[in-house]
Structure 1
Amino acid sequence: MQRKIRILIVEDEEAIRNGLMDVFVFHGYEVDCAADGREGLQKACSGIFDLVLLDVMLPGMDGFEVCNRVRAIDRDQPIIMLTARTSDDDIIQGLSLGADDYVAKPFSVAQLVLRVQAVLRRSQIGVANETRLFLGNDVEVDIANLSGRRGTEALSFTRREMDILQYLHANSQRPVSRDELLNKVWGYAKGLDMETRTVDIHIAKLRRKIEREPAAPRYLTTVRGAGYRLLTD
């Protein structure tokens, strides 16, 4: 018998925590929970969860710190952050620490389930046959090890950033729209009315890594009205 997917919910508000547990048990997941940051970190680092739903405002240790410490141990652990803080700075901080998605409260339970399903689908995608990508003569990307170099500078990527690079590289002959990236890389259904700045923030992060001048990108370019295109020469 195939094991159930295991989800850890780290949320200090009891009503929300219990409600989320009921929802995901109903959808067939095995669910555990934690009511504060330290307990959440301890459980998340056990390595037995397929996904962590992590609130930002937690007693003991906030969600940003929990995410940072989990990422130091396991760079591939799928994490979705839940928060009432929706400023760009907060979103950037969460994603910069390696969160796979960032869901604002109050949220639609149905939408949250869709986001969880999308992140879980992405986490199951194996590494493509191609093991290295090259951009010009100064950027080399090691897909399997989530690493690379730009000139003599070492680079480190999250799994999501690598998925974006791989998809753009495979379609480098044309621009790829934001909606297409949401569908193909994040796994969201086509036409889903979902507000997210995730794509834009990830593109900005990638540019800071692979471009010598992120404000005037040579490789990861914007095609006005069409999306993003990765130039390999």
Structure 2
Amino acid sequence: MKKKNSILIVEDEAAISAGLTDVFIYHGYKVEVAEDGAIGLDRALKGRYDLIILDVMLPSMNGYDICQAIREKDKEQPIIMLTAKSADEDIIQGLSLGADDYVAKPFSIAQLLLRIEAVLRRSGKSEIQTYTIQLNQERVIDLQNLLIRTQSGEVAFTRREIQVLEYLYQNSSRPVSREELLSEVWGYDPELSIETRTVDIHIAKIRRKIEMKAKDPQFLVTVRGAGYKLIFDIPNS
């Protein structure tokens, strides 16, 4: 018998957690629920889950702090954050802490299930094939250690940012479309319509880390009508 994927739901609204539990069980998932932030973190750190669904607003400990604590221990744990806010700064905060994706409340169950399937499908494909990307003499991206080294010091990346950079590097001879990144990096089915700005937000975050001027990018450029292209002076060693 095929092993069921396990999901931990950390959500304090009983109606939402109960509804999600019913839906996930119906779709063949094994589900656990924590309605308190500190309890959710304890279970996340002690248990083994294929995916964690993490609300932002929680009693005792918010979802951002939980996400950060999980990432300090496990950079590979798949996490989707639920947020009642759709403002960019709230979404960016969750993604910056290492969440794989976000879903803004109120959300479509069908869209959430698509995101879950995509994250789970992608979670087994995180092995880094490239070790470094040298953008120029002063800027070297270390993919294994999830950081960029510059003359000013080191800046850390999230696992998803590194996956984006590696995919752009491997396909640096051409622009890569937003839809291709959603398919190849996030694992979304290219035949389905996914409502998310996660690619745009990740590109903006990466630019702030690798560029001298994020608003005038030299390394991660937009090719109008085609997508994104990574430009570097020196091949990786």
User: 1:89 — aligned with what?
Assistant: 89
User: 2:71 — aligned with what?
Assistant: 71
**TM-score, with structure 1 as normaliser:** 0.93
Q: CA separation in 1, counterparts of 2:120 and 2:211?
A: 30
- CA distance change for structure 1 residues 215 and 104 in 2, over 3 Å: closer, same or farther? same
Q: CA separation in 2, counterparts of 1:70 and 1:86?
A: 23
Q: CA separation in 2, counterparts of 1:75 and 1:181?
A: 20
User: 2:6 — aligned with what?
Assistant: 6
User: 2:200 — aligned with what?
Assistant: 200
Query: Secondary structure of the equivalent of 1:45?
Result: helix
Structure 2, unpaired ranges of 5+: none
- CA distance change for structure 1 residues 154 and 3 in 2, over 3 Å: closer, same or farther? same
- CA distance change for structure 1 residues 66 and 126 in 2, over 3 Å: closer, same or farther? closer
- CA drift of 1:13 comes to 1.2
**TM-score, with structure 2 as normaliser:** 0.92
- CA drift of 1:2 comes to 5.4
- CA drift of 1:152 comes to 4.8
Q: CA separation in 2, counterparts of 1:47 and 1:157?
A: 25
**Paired amino acid for 1:41:** L
Q: CA separation in 2, counterparts of 1:5 and 1:218?
A: 42
Q: CA separation in 1, counterparts of 2:11 and 2:87?
A: 20
User: 2:106 — aligned with what?
Assistant: 106
Are the equivalent residues in 1 in contact too, given 2:130–2:166 (CA < 8 A)?
no
Are the equivalent residues in 2 in contact too, given 1:172–1:231 (CA < 8 A)?
yes
Matched, 1:20 2:20: yes
**Paired amino acid for 1:215:** K
User: 1:164 — aligned with what?
Assistant: 164
After superposition, where does 1:134-153 map in structure 2 within 5 Å?
134-153=134-153
Give the % identical residues: 58
